[in-house]
Chain A
Amino acid sequence: MVRAPLGRRRAAAVLAGLVTCVMLLTGVSPAAAKENGQDNGAQGGKLERLRSGQATLRVGTDATFPPFEFTDAKGHKQGFDIELVRALAERAGIKKVSFTQMPFANIVPALQAHQVDMGASGIYISDERSRVIDFTDVYYPGGLAMFVAEKNDSVTSLADLAGKRIAVQVGTKSVEWLKEHQPRAHLITVQTNEQMFSAARLGQADAVVTGAPAGQYFIAQHGGLKQVGKRLTDENYGYALPKSDAAVTAAFNAALQKMKDDGSYTALTKKWFEAKSGSGAKKEQPLLNPRTIVDSWGQIQSGLLVSIAVIMMSLCLSLLLGTAGGLARLSGLMPLRWLGSAYVSVIRGTPFVVQLFFVYFGLPQLGLQLPPMVAGVLALGLYSGSYVTEIFRGAVQSVDRGQIEAARSCGMSHAAAMRHVVIPQAFLRMLPPLGNEFVSLTKNSALVSFITIGELFMVGQTIISRTFDALTVYLFIGLLYYILTNIIGFATHTIEKKMAVYV
């Protein structure tokens, strides 16, 4: 970092400034964000702070992987990993534990970025992962197995997978393993565990390769699939921790040994891994199932509220940045104009998801650790602000030159002429495109679910991972977004009509 090129340092400074804006908006101080984040300082300091209750053990998990971890209708995380981590933490003397939802593939990067302190998500211990993070001792034996739809008899061995479509979850061990041992399989990579099983059930994939416990649990709960062939690998699950936290890892290992010795570990495995009889053959469901929505209403509500909060805060930031950017682009000062153009060009020229991941997963490497909500609002605000910049500039430039001349001929300064004469007129012209932009922002807000924010879309996914009712849930979630975007459209239209008395 000492020898970082100037450009990168300058970019970091600019970003830091923007981040401060968001933090002010969201009430998070940089100091507080830092405190929650990494502590590479005193050896063992982390474990002591966890034991004293000063710090919370933040556990990253993809709660779409029953029976290891899933989310119940009330929005609570359940499962073997959840209970075992809580029990282990208690025995290790750790006071506070919180679970954070994130896509499986993001857990290891989040550990490296110190966004979370532990990964507990049915993670296989592998050499490759061990290079960047540490694992606890084995807490459950696993191994990959093959699953196919009940009526499918075409797969009985690994060789049969050649030329077949195999559903795998992104970032999981199955992906690497299949590439090596059955390169002729066509991998269909999906985001969640549920999508993987659904793909096989609905015929979008010929087979699923995943951890045996998860597959067996799915069959026990929902039916429709069967396990075929022998287990493909003999592997083990472990909890993942940053390399810097060896003391915490050791504390967990000691606790695990204690639980194995006193029998509480065995009780827990019985509870979660022995299929409940009778629930195996699920009865046929109607296509649309309002119960799915009714049962999860509390969860949906909270997701909706989070979405609205994200949208409102990003919208404010977007307006702020757009106005600043627009003024910069119209400024008489070359460097400001250049900065404005660079902002628009870079942000509009790259995908939003890349920016989002850069802010959340990339910036920690520059020492800038952001809570998910701040990162999400910052990324959305930055992205939308670049469009607002152009809307602002276009609207200001569309105001007749004579307006400025009239104001200046009276002795008004350029700034006063802009403020009292040009911008009020420009604002009215901005409203229709602004409305469009904010509709876009609303739709893009679904993407912040990728960085662990529990907004509407993520809530939808967790409900589906429990109910397997993708049709009903996506339809309903879509409807909610449709209502949100229409409210925004209606609001801008109303303001426009009210303001347009003089046109």
Chain B
Amino acid sequence: MALLETFEITKAYGDHQVLRGIDFAIEPGQVVAVIGPSGGGKSTFLRCLNQMERPTTGRVVFAGEELSATESNLDRLRARMGMVFQQFNLFPHMTALRNVVLPQMNVLGRTREEAERRGRALLEQVGMLAKADSYPNRLSGGQKQRVAIARALAMDPEVMLFDEPTSALDPEVVHDVLDVMTDLAKDGMTMVVVTHEMGFARKVADRVVFIDGGKIAADLPPEEFFSDGNDNERIRTFLAKVL
């Protein structure tokens, strides 16, 4: 059974139609790379999955429950879905460790001791334990993003949503973050990753979803998607530009 599923979701900002009906499903343990041209609706689609954006029409079902408009239901389900942002969005007034600890205590009701133990373990997993007591303004972009991943993982999510996690990074640190994500995928995490990193999509993803013009234009295993035999004209044009 699909862990996360969407039915015909659309999103419009006034007259501007961003999503034009998307049906999508991901199985537990799958890694889906979402790619496509800018403005095609990739990020909006991802943000609809945990209702950071409310779809104009259509339904999102997570673990058998519909993400409805009621806030308490939404908070409960969101706690089980991790999200990583392009701009990291670390809490600047807290140390790296405190960033990872706060949601655990506030949402999961863990004690400070428990939350810190789990927080330190996750910071170690992303290679950031040495910076546990640093404020975000002392961290590089790559380091911030790894702390942000640890913060999301600390909630023990069932799925991780990545919104262009490396787009704001200097090229030399992109790999630090991709390595962490690759390890996560290997450990069996269910992941939806909006990305421009074709290497990551090719090597790590189980499926590549190509979104263009607010619709899913292709949903293929990476070997087929990137194969020379793929005769989808739009995909060929896109790949020619980015590769």
A interface residues (Cβ-Cβ under 8 A, vs B): 400, 402-403, 405-414, 416, 420-421, 424-425, 428, 501-503
Stretch among B33-41, B79-87, B188-196, B204-212 lining the A interface: B79-87
* B44 at the binding interface (Cβ < 8 Å): no
Residues B52 and A408 in contact, CB atoms below 8 Å apart: yes
Kindly report which residue of chain A lies nearest to residue B80, judged by CB atoms: A411
19 more contacts with CB within 8 A, not counting A405-B52, A411-B77, A502-B92, are A402-B87, A403-B89, A405-B83, A405-B85, A406-B83, A407-B103, A409-B81, A410-B78, A410-B107, A410-B152, A410-B155, A411-B103, A411-B155, A420-B102, A420-B106, A425-B91, A501-B135, A502-B135, A503-B92
Bound Cα distance A152, B203 (Å):
105
> Measured between C-beta atoms, what is the minimum distance from B179 to chain A in Å?
22
> Measured between C-beta atoms, what is the minimum distance from A125 to chain B in Å?
68
B interface residues (Cβ-Cβ under 8 A, vs A): 50, 52, 71-72, 75-83, 85, 87, 89-94, 102-103, 106-107, 135-137, 148, 151-152, 155
Bound Cα distance A424, B136 (Å):
15
> Measured between C-beta atoms, what is the minimum distance from B177 to chain A in Å?
17
Kindly report which residue of chain B lies nearest to residue A410, judged by CB atoms: B103
Of the candidates A406, A411, A421, A502, the one whose C-beta lies within 8 Å of that of B107 is A411
Bound Cα distance A402, B85 (Å):
8
Residues on A with beta carbons closer than 8 Å to the beta carbon of B136 = 502
Of the candidates B71, B80, B87, the one whose C-beta lies within 8 Å of that of A413 is B71
Residues on B with beta carbons closer than 8 Å to the beta carbon of A414 = 71
Kindly report which residue of chain B lies nearest to residue A425, judged by CB atoms: B93
Bound Cα distance A413, B92 (Å):
19
Residues B93 and A405 in contact, CB atoms below 8 Å apart: no
Bound Cα distance A407, B137 (Å):
18
> Measured between C-beta atoms, what is the minimum distance from A404 to chain B in Å?
9
Residues on A with beta carbons closer than 8 Å to the beta carbon of B87 = 402
> Measured between C-beta atoms, what is the minimum distance from A493 to chain B in Å?
19
Residues on A with beta carbons closer than 8 Å to the beta carbon of B148 = 406
Bound Cα distance A416, B78 (Å):
14
Bound Cα distance A410, B76 (Å):
9
Inter-chain CB contacts under 8 Å: number: 76
Residues on A with beta carbons closer than 8 Å to the beta carbon of B83 = 405-406, 409-410
Residues A408 and B85 in contact, CB atoms below 8 Å apart: no
Residues on A with beta carbons closer than 8 Å to the beta carbon of B79 = 410-411
> Measured between C-beta atoms, what is the minimum distance from B220 to chain A in Å?
29
Bound Cα distance A174, B35 (Å):
88
Residues on A with beta carbons closer than 8 Å to the beta carbon of B151 = 406, 410
> Measured between C-beta atoms, what is the minimum distance from B229 to chain A in Å?
39
Bound Cα distance A18, B70 (Å):
34
Which of A409, A501, A503 has most B Cβ within 10 Å?
A: A409
Of the candidates B72, B89, B90, B155, the one whose C-beta lies within 8 Å of that of A405 is B89
CB<8 Å pairs between A and B, sample of 8: A405-B85, A406-B89, A406-B151, A409-B152, A410-B107, A411-B77, A425-B91, A502-B93
> Measured between C-beta atoms, what is the minimum distance from B99 to chain A in Å?
9
Which of A421, A424, A503 has most B Cβ within 10 Å?
A: A421
Residues B78 and A411 in contact, CB atoms below 8 Å apart: yes
Which of B76, B91, B152 has most A Cβ within 10 Å?
A: B91
Bound Cα distance A375, B178 (Å):
64
Residues A409 and B50 in contact, CB atoms below 8 Å apart: yes
State the 10 A-B residue pairs at the shortest beta-carbon distance, nearest first: A411-B79, A406-B89, A410-B103, A409-B83, A402-B89, A502-B135, A411-B107, A411-B78, A411-B75, A502-B93
> Measured between C-beta atoms, what is the minimum distance from B204 to chain A in Å?
22
Given A412-B107, A413-B75, A502-B135, residue A406 in contact with residue B52 (CB < 8 A): no
Of the candidates B50, B75, B76, B91, the one whose C-beta lies within 8 Å of that of A403 is B91
Bound Cα distance A411, B80 (Å):
8
Given A425-B92, A503-B137, residue A412 in contact with residue B103 (CB < 8 A): yes
> Measured between C-beta atoms, what is the minimum distance from B114 to chain A in Å?
16
Bound Cα distance A328, B15 (Å):
32
Bound Cα distance A407, B76 (Å):
13
Residues A502 and B106 in contact, CB atoms below 8 Å apart: no
> Measured between C-beta atoms, what is the minimum distance from B101 to chain A in Å?
11
Residues A409 and B78 in contact, CB atoms below 8 Å apart: yes
Kindly report which residue of chain A lies nearest to residue B76, judged by CB atoms: A411
Bound Cα distance A501, B136 (Å):
11
Kindly report which residue of chain B lies nearest to residue A414, judged by CB atoms: B71
Bound Cα distance A416, B81 (Å):
18
> Measured between C-beta atoms, what is the minimum distance from A495 to chain B in Å?
14
Given A403-B89, A502-B137, A503-B137, residue A416 in contact with residue B71 (CB < 8 A): no
Kindly report which residue of chain A lies nearest to residue B84, judged by CB atoms: A409
Residues B91 and A421 in contact, CB atoms below 8 Å apart: yes
Residues on B with beta carbons closer than 8 Å to the beta carbon of A420 = 91, 102, 106
Residues on A with beta carbons closer than 8 Å to the beta carbon of B93 = 424-425, 428, 502
Bound Cα distance A402, B91 (Å):
10
Residues B78 and A408 in contact, CB atoms below 8 Å apart: yes
Bound Cα distance A424, B102 (Å):
14
Bound Cα distance A366, B155 (Å):
56
Bound Cα distance A410, B72 (Å):
13
Bound Cα distance A408, B103 (Å):
9
Residues A412 and B75 in contact, CB atoms below 8 Å apart: yes
Bound Cα distance A354, B128 (Å):
60
Bound Cα distance A403, B106 (Å):
16
Which of A402, A406, A408, A425 has most B Cβ within 10 Å?
A: A406
Bound Cα distance A84, B136 (Å):
74
Bound Cα distance A424, B99 (Å):
14
Bound Cα distance A406, B102 (Å):
12
Residues on B with beta carbons closer than 8 Å to the beta carbon of A402 = 85, 87, 89
Bound Cα distance A323, B98 (Å):
26
> Measured between C-beta atoms, what is the minimum distance from A297 to chain B in Å?
46
